[in-house]
């Protein structure tokens, strides 16, 4: 993506990379070299489409998926495929952390609990299961930071992305030496930490040749996809909240203090704005739920129904889907259950239910799961004054209305929903001093496109259905804890 100095979008480009591999159940891995290939192609195409040269680019910003682990040797060679955010193999490592460090101490040091998604648990897994690789590790990077390394040769990370490693002292915005010592991780393998708008690297000559950027172009620290996406939606001050439905779903609130959920149900991370933090609840399979429904039940992409066709069909079903409930636990669940083993369920199906009821139940179930985070916000007195929607859940009129009805609150979309890439470009502009601050940039660039009010007739139905939804997880948990006995 290329922005002009007035914040106008000049051009953007997308290059697909290979889908993640899953060599074993619950594993998820990608080749970092494929990210670099896609980044080079997208950068060249965006510069060409914008009608500018590399010399016209004043600064580069980066964003990408969080929590991954890219392991490099002393020559900068990738040692194994990156274990990415949705990988669930590290349950034993989480248990080890809770025994050795303790859940209370973990919360005190990092403001977050031990979860299978976090980078630290992936490092512990490699140390235990692949010791010959671990002995060769000299640098650990997150996905977007590997792209920066290829652009610049520098090992750097921003405070927002570092928060998702479970190795950062989030309150102090620096690596936690106490935690690293407790788990015997050498701090020297971790990259230097910077605030998101800070210039931390410059494009090398080799990278300039392959990307068409100019040598020496500054690169800011950037941010992980959630913090950068929030910047792109103007979620910068307390009271501003976003609900984004991509593959996963995230409810994100900006705060002026490192708010802590003592039960560890929310993530507390540094924001991409110096001196601010954010709290975040995550639904593992949000947009993934609708994709699963399409691919497994309706013929898949290109062969069956499109997302638009599915949501149009769902509009024929009444609010509450005539009692059908979807628990979106295809990949386990993070907020509020912290349970990688729970699995999804459709509840309440009858012979009279149609495809419309089924699709609507999936849309509502994802919104109910996101509402769990708003419930925790209320418990912690985190203000919710404005809710902005992003991702695929913001593109469907029906899903926007469902979210307004489920949250019981007006929801908004923004005029330019370019996601994390736009936020990364804003951070680059702040680093180049085009804008004095992130707040100034967002005030100038981010504007409301549409506001959807809750339907007064639907809200009581959604409240009743949400109360029923909250009873599904305990029932599923009880079932999952009962071992199936096979008799011969």
Q: How is residue 78 written in tokens?
A: 């990738």
* Residues catalogued as catalytic: 225
pLDDT digits (tens, 9 = 90+) for 110-169: 999 999 989 999 999 999 999 999 999 999 999 999 999 999 999 999 999 999 999 999
Please say whether the structural domain 2-221 has been given the CATH code 3.30.70.1450: no
Per domain, the residue ranges of the chain are 2-221, 234-480
pLDDT digits (tens, 9 = 90+) for 329-363: 998 898 999 888 899 999 999 999 999 999 999 99
Under DSSP, the state recorded for 214 is P
Q: How is residue 480 written in tokens?
A: 């999952």
Q: Say if CB 236 and CB 254 are below 8 A apart.
A: yes
* Cα–Cα distance, 39 to 219 (Å, whole number): 14
One of 3.30.465.10, 3.30.565.10, 2.60.120.260, 3.30.420.40 is the CATH number of 234-480, namely 3.30.420.40
pLDDT at 488: 45
Pairing of strands 249-255, 277-283: antiparallel
Q: Say if CB 347 and CB 471 are below 8 A apart.
A: no
Better pLDDT: 91 or 86: 91
Give the count of beta carbons closer than 10 Å to the beta carbon of residue 352. Answer: 7
Burial 259-273 (b: 16+ CB within 10 A, else e): bbbeebbbbbbbbbb
Q: List the one residue out of 435, 363, 369 whose CA is nearest residue 402.
A: 363
For residue 151, give Cα distances in angstroms to 36, 51, 212, 427: 9, 22, 11, 17
pLDDT digits (tens, 9 = 90+) for 103-126: 999 999 999 999 998 999 999 999
pLDDT digits (tens, 9 = 90+) for 382-425: 999 999 999 888 989 999 999 999 999 999 999 876 779 999 99
Would 2-221 and 234-480 be classified into the same CATH topology? yes
pLDDT at 298: 79
pLDDT at 225: 92
Residue 204 pLDDT exceeds 80: yes
pTM of the model: 0.88
Report residue 463: phi and psi, to 5°: -65, -45
pLDDT digits (tens, 9 = 90+) for 421-435: 999 999 999 999 999
The H or E element containing residue 384 is: strand 384-391
Residue 308 pLDDT exceeds 80: yes
């Amino acid at each position: 993506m290329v922005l002009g100095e007035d914040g106008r979008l000049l051009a953007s480009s997308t290059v697909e990379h290979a889908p993640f591999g899953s060599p074993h159940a619950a594993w998820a891995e990608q080749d970092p070299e494929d990210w670099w290939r896609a980044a080079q192609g997208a950068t060249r195409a965006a510069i060409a489409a914008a009608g500018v040269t590399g010399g016209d680019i004043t600064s580069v910003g980066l964003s990408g998926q969080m929590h991954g682990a890219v392991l490099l040797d002393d020559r900068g060679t990738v040692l194994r495929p990156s274990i990415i955010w949705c990988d669930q193999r590290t349950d034993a490592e989480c248990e080890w952390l809770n025994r050795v460090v303790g859940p209370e101490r973990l919360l005190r040091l990092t403001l977050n609990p031990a979860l299978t998604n976090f980078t630290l648990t992936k490092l512990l897994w490699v140390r235990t299961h692949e010791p010959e690789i671990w002995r060769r590790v000299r640098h650990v990077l997150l996905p977007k930071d590997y792209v920066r390394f290829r652009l610049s040769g520098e090992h750097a990370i921003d405070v927002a992305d570092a928060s998702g490693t479970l190795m950062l002292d989030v309150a102090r915005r620096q690596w936690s030496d106490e935690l690293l010592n407790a788990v015997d991780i050498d701090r020297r393998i971790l990259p230097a930490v910077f605030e998101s708008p800070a210039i931390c690297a410059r494009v090398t000559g080799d990278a300039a040749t392959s990307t068409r950027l100019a040598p020496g172009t500054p690169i800011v620290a950037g941010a992980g996809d959630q913090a950068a996406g929030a910047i792109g939606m103007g979620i910068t001050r307390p009271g501003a909240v976003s609900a984004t439905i991509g593959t996963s779903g995230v409810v994100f609130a900006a705060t002026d203090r490192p708010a802590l959920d003592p039960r560890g149900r929310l993530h507390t991370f540094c924001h991409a704005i110096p001196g601010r933090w954010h709290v975040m609840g995550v639904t593992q399979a949000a947009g993934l739920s609708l994709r699963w429904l399409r691919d497994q039940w309706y013929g898949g992409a290109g062969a069956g129904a499109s997302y638009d066709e599915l949501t149009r069909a769902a509009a024929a079903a009444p609010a509450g889907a005539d009692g059908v409930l979807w628990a979106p636990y295809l990949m386990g669940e993070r907020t509020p259950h912290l349970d990688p083993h729970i699995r999804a369920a459709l509840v309440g199906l009858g012979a009279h239910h149609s495809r419309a009821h089924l699709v609507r139940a999936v849309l509502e179930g994802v919104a109910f799961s996101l509402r769990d985070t708003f419930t925790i916000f209320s418990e912690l007195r985190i203000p919710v004054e404005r809710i902005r929607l992003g991702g695929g859940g913001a593109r469907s009129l029906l899903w926007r209305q469902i979210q307004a009805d489920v949250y019981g609150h007006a929801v908004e979309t923004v005029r330019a929903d370019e996601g994390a890439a736009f936020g990364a470009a804003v951070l680059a502009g702040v680093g180049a001093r085009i804008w004095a601050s992130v707040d100034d940039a967002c005030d100038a660039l981010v504007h409301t496109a549409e506001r959807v009010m809750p339907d007064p007739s639907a809200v009581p139905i959604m409240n009743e259905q949400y109360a029923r939804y909250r009873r599904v997880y305990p029932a599923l948990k009880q079932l999952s804890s009962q071992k199936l006995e096979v008799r011969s």
